[in-house]
Structure formats: structure tokens, C-alpha cells
Chain A
Amino acid sequence: MSAGTDKTKPVDHAGAAAAFVADTPHLAFHDRRLWELRQKRDGQMHVIPEWQELRSLASAIKEHTLSRLADYLEQFEAQAKARGVTVHWARNAEEHNATVLRIMREHKAKTLAKSKSMLTEECEMAPFLERHGITITETDLGERIQQLDGQAPSHIVVPAVHKLREDVARVFARTIGGDPNNADPNALAEHARVTTRPLMLDADIGMTGANFLVAETGAVVVCTNEGNADLSANIPKVHIVSAGIEKLIPRQADLGVFIRLLSRSALGSPITQYTSHFRGPRAGAEMHIILVDNGRSQRLGEEDFWPSLKCIRCGACMNTCPVYRRSGGLSYGAVYSGPIGAIINPSYDPMRYSTLPFASTLNGSCTSVCPVKINIHDQLYKWRRVIAERGLLPKNKALSLRIAGYVLASPRLYRLATGAARMAVRHLPRALLYSKLNSWGRDREVPAAPKESFAAWAARNRPVKR
């Protein structure tokens, strides 16, 4: 991973962020694109009068499920087995990867077409399988770009969001051919289509992740837009599902809450293009589900931190976070970045990820947008305490200032940020600005935003001679 591969040292988030900050075009685009996703999400929220009630329901359903997770897993397993699915259990990443390899070997399989799955990133499955001679094709466009570039995804929903079109053109030209100077997104996406489809048609085994596992029906629910997950699952003779044990929900009807929230929170679209439900193999095919713990049962017992297991991986907390938007996902040096990453990575390795809970202004925006009401900024604060108590605070006492302040302190960044804020204040409806959602607006009236910042006005009226 790009932010330092020495796993014995704390991730240098501030240092990596500084490099990102220094790159103006990338930074400006990244900030703008993610803020656009946040605004689209707000637009969707406003057309659903019961939005806040849905969030409360989603949170309560998840808390309930987590409080009886063992029972629901058993129910899910029984349902899936009854439909002819083979269910595997994995305590950790090693067991998960070994299970995948065993299934591949049983079928003498050499190629794997997979759709997006953060869990397989978490398990570092790709390098493991490659060491054993397996060729893996990431079929989601963003993941494919990252795979070809030898980089981890920088965002859990839009993995290549930190890249500009020219970067993609160069990566393709270097790896799968194409004109490095043709950066038209349509041409690039078409090139990805015509080069990836044959790999899916030839794959020995297909793999998907899971957004939800329904205990009542044994359904694996996969929400995607590109059609790649359904192709990967429906072409090869074997479909492997990799799923974290926290993906359970009790009833089919609960999907009526979660599906309404997921894509609206993630991309600001009412639903994903494909919401697919797999309950068993096709005639003549096999379906395997690997249920993975990898630290989740440990976290369930941590009084302050277990609610992070409610996460449905929508990315809304990342899109809204000013530090994430201005530091880029790769600077977190971890599989999960942004606010959610800052609260779940430390439970894997508190020393290595000791800096991440400080990558926040504690503005509470993440908590406000989270569709399952995780108390993210509270947990950030609590992790800071844990890290201090365990003596893991780096020597530099001004650490929190340095990190949280860094990306917000650069004058160029300040100009970018205030540009966005002026736009927001002028265009957001009052109800939104002063609702409980905006913790910055809660206790004070936000002054009317001038059309132009003072700096811009001054530059226009009294141009400085150089």
C-alpha cells in the first residue's frame, strides 16, 4: 500500500496527506467529486419523508441482529444448505484464503473473475492466490483500474476516485493497451468492457461479496451497477461468496429498509442498477459461501466499539469528511479509509493505526450522514483515549493538531474549502443547514455567504502586479 508498507510503524497519515495536498488538480477534483456525492445523497434524502425513521430502523435492526448474531448465522446457514449451498466458516484471513484456494484446486481452476469485495482486500486474498498460480480479474471498473495500477482501492464504493481520466488512460496504455493520449471516459470504459468481458467468459470460478445475508431466506444480496457481479456469478460453474459475519439481517422485509438507504447514501441514486439475490446454485452449478470472522467477534465484545459492526459500507461518512476529501484514501495506509476506517482499523492493530483516529476534526458530519447511525465521531474520540492510555501516542504532542489541522491549514486548500462552503450555503435549503444534521449549524446562525470571497473580490478589483 502506498502509505508505507512497514507494518511495524504507525501509518504516516499526515505525511501521505501532504503529498496528496501538494497535487492541486487531483486534490481539487477529489474534493469536488466526493462533495458532489454528498450533495446527491442529500437530494435523495429530501424526497423520502421517512428518512430519519429509516435510519433509526436500520440501526435497531442491526443492533438486534448483532446481539443474536450466532442464532441468525445458524438460521442463515440452515436455509442456505437446504438450497444446496456449501457453507464454509473462516476464523481469519488465512482460513478464508485457504478455503478459496481449496475450492479452486478441487475444480482444477486457474482463473477467478471477481466483483468488488472489501473483505477480500481485508484478507489480502489476491496476492495469496497469485502466489499459488491463480489469475484474478477484478471486474468492477474502479477495482480493475486499481488492480492494473498495483494500488489498493482508495474508497470503498468508488475505488479509483483519486485518479483523473488521464491517469486511467496511462494505466490502460501501460497494461491492457490503448492510446495513452485518449482520455475520453467513454472510450476508456468501452476499452475496459471489451477487454474484461472475455475474461469473465473464460473464468473457471466467479466470486462476489455480499451486501446483506438474509437469515430468514438464506439469500445473499449483492448491490452493484456495472453488471459485472451478475456476470461473474452466472457464467462460471462455481460461484463463491465471501461475506463478513456482520452482514446478516433477520428478515426479507428488512431489505425494504436497507435497500432504500444503501445506494441513496452511497451514490445519491435511488437504488443500484442491479440488486441481486442468490439463494442457491443454478442447475448444474455450485455455490459456496464463506462466512468470515476476522476480528469481528472480537470487536463485538468491545463495549465502546461494537456498534461499528452495523456498517453497511456505503461510504457516506467518507464523502462528507473534510479530512478524507482532502487527504485521499490511500493516505490512511489501510484497507478501510475515511472515518469508518479510522474507527475499525485500530481494532486490528492499535499501534499501526494509532494516527488514524486523529485524522478528524470531530465535526460530527460522519455521524449525521451514517444510514445506520453509528456514533462515528464519538468512537473517534474514544479511540484517541484508548491510544493515549496504551501509550501509543507518537512522541509529537501536537499530533492531533498536526493531522486534523494539516489539510485544513494550507492556504490553497483553505481557498478550495471555502469555495465549496460558499456554494453550499447559497444553494442548500435552510431546513438542511439548520437541521439536526448539520452540527455546525446547530448552535449558531450561519452568516449569509457572499457570492464572492474577499480574496476573489480583491483579486478582481485590485489585481496584484507580479
Chain B
Amino acid sequence: MSAREDILARLRERRPDGEFPLPVLPSFPGIEGDLVAAFQQNLAAMGGQCVHLPDREALDPFLCARLGASRLIRTSTDELPGFARTDAVTDPRDLENVHTGIVRARFGVAETGSLFLSGRELQVNTIAYLAQHLVVLLDPAAIVPGIADAYLRDDFTSTNYVSLMTGPSATADIEGVMIRGAQGVRSLTVVFAKPIFTDPTRPADARQA
């Protein structure tokens, strides 16, 4: 018997006696009111920061001023023509020396301050980890109240890779001292900005299934 058949047969033979119905998941009352404020507060607790801009036009100047010209910056969104894209990158290692990556999250989660980023948004997944810093654009209207709400969405099955990212990488493995910037990005900044430009000619899943 193959290992597969053997294991499955043993599990069937030894299954616990009794009925164990699968519970229907109730919907609990979640965060109400200002989701942006809740998101910001909960992300701050996980070490991430939020920036509000007066309007969409302020985004490019803000990013240029903040990031400076000399640094290696890569963006995975097609909304920022002023910055080099990740499109041309074929080897995930090539992003090793990137100072800052810029990506757009599909949505945020107020309960935890988490950002939904999939292979589709990232294009090259390592942009969110190999870069020293990460800037994430987020539409303030695209925030769901809770983690349970997020998992009711079918976005999770739209690509092979999805991460809910909540702040920069962190460790407390040495005496419980919290250190932001473990193996992944050292900082994560959310900039609230509505999407203004998406290229309809570009296939959505060009880079990654």
C-alpha cells in the first residue's frame, strides 16, 4: 500500500466515535464607525505608519521628497510613471538592493491594520521583503472591518500567493526586545490614495497566475 492509501485508511479506521457537525460561522458585530482611524491605530500598534495627503496630486511630489532621487526605488503599480517598475525583473533576487518598494494594496483590514497584497499587486513577491522599506498605497474606501470579513472575499483565491501584511518585519526573539526590521522590510508606510490610473491593456495576471 502506498503511504497515501495507508494513511487515509488508518484515519478512516480510527476516526473518533460520535457526531461532530461543522459549525455555521456566526457574524460578530465588528468595528463600526471610522474604519480609517481604526486601521491607522491598529497598524501603528504593529509598527506601521500612515500618511494622509491633501489630494491625489500630492502623491508624486510627496514620494519624491520623501524618498530622494539617488535611491533605488521600484514600484509594482502602474500609477506612478515617475518611478522604475518591477516589470522587467525576472529573478526575485534582483530586488536585493532596492531601497524602497512601492506597491498598492487591494484592501485593508481595520481590526488589525493589515494589508491585502497578492502576487498580482506585488508582481515580484520579493519586492515586499527584500526592499529595505515598503510604501503601500491604500484606497481609504477599501478597508473592511474585520479579519473574518476579509476571509469571506474571493480575493484569496485569485492568485497563488497572498499575504496579509501588518507592519514591517519584526522580532522579539532576544529577551523580548521588539525590533522592527528582522529579515524583511525595516519600515512600512501606508499612504492613503485613491487609484487614479490602471492600464486596461495590461493583462491583470501577466506575471503570476
| A-to-B contact residues, CB < 8 Å | 29, 33, 36, 49-50, 53, 57, 60-61, 63-64, 66-70, 73-74, 83, 89-91, 95, 139-142, 145, 158-161, 163-165, 168, 185-186, 188-190, 193, 196-197, 200-201, 217, 219, 225-228, 230-231, 234-235, 245, 250, 252-257, 259-260, 267, 269-283, 291, 293, 297-298, 300-301, 303, 306
Contact = CB atoms under 8 A, between A and B. Distances in A.
Contact of A253 (B21, B25, B173): B25
B62 interface: no
B151 A255 contact: yes
B88 interface: no
Contact of A164 (B11, B12, B175): B175
B204 to A, nearest CB: 14
Given A67-B20, A250-B22, A283-B209, A271 B166 contact: yes
A240 to B, nearest CB: 16
B160 A278 contact: yes
A293 to B, nearest CB: 5
5 contacts: A189-B181, A253-B25, A269-B46, A276-B163, A277-B156
Given A69-B15, A231-B183, A273 B126 contact: no
Interface on chain B toward A: helix, strand, loop, or mixed SS?
Answer: loop
Contacts of B149: 256
B169 to A, nearest CB: 3
A49 B31 CA distance: 12
B8 A189 contact: no
Interface string B7-50: 11111111111101111011010000000000000100111000
A168 B174 contact: yes
Contact of A270 (B112, B157, B171, B179): B112
A36 B172 CA distance: 13
A253 B148 contact: yes
Contacts of A230: 125, 128-129, 163, 184
Contacts of A66: 15-16, 20
B12 A70 contact: yes
A227 B209 contact: no
Contacts of A273: 46-47, 165-170, 184
Given A50-B28, A231-B130, A67 B171 contact: no
Interface in B47-91: 47
Contacts of A142: 171, 173
B174 A141 contact: yes
Contacts of A29: 175
Nearest to B25: A253
A153 to B, nearest CB: 11
Given A90-B3, A235-B93, A274-B165, A297 B11 contact: yes
B132 to A, nearest CB: 10
Given A253-B151, A277-B163, A61 B23 contact: yes
Nearest to A277: B162
Given A225-B171, A235-B93, A298-B10, 20 more contacts: A60-B21, A68-B15, A89-B2, A163-B174, A188-B174, A189-B171, A193-B181, A230-B125, A230-B163, A230-B184, A235-B126, A257-B25, A269-B46, A271-B46, A271-B112, A271-B114, A274-B163, A281-B160, A282-B161, A300-B14
Nearest to A90: B3
A64 B183 CA distance: 37
A196 B183 contact: yes
A346 B9 CA distance: 24
A168 B176 CA distance: 13
A303 B14 CA distance: 10
Contact of A70 (B8, B20, B169, B173): B8
A70 B28 CA distance: 31
A373 B128 CA distance: 36
Nearest to B178: A185
Nearest to A235: B92
Nearest to B14: A301
Contacts of B92: 234-235, 282
A226 B8 contact: no
Most chain-B Cβ atoms within 10 A of its Cβ — which of A66, A165, A282? A282
B152 A253 contact: yes
A456 to B, nearest CB: 25
B147 interface: yes
B120 to A, nearest CB: 12
Given A185-B175, A271-B114, A273-B165, A256 B22 contact: no
Contacts of A252: 151, 156-157
A226 B171 contact: yes
Contact of A282 (B20, B119, B176, B184): B119
B21 to A, nearest CB: 6
Nearest to A255: B151
Nearest to B179: A189
A226 B170 contact: yes
A256 B148 contact: yes
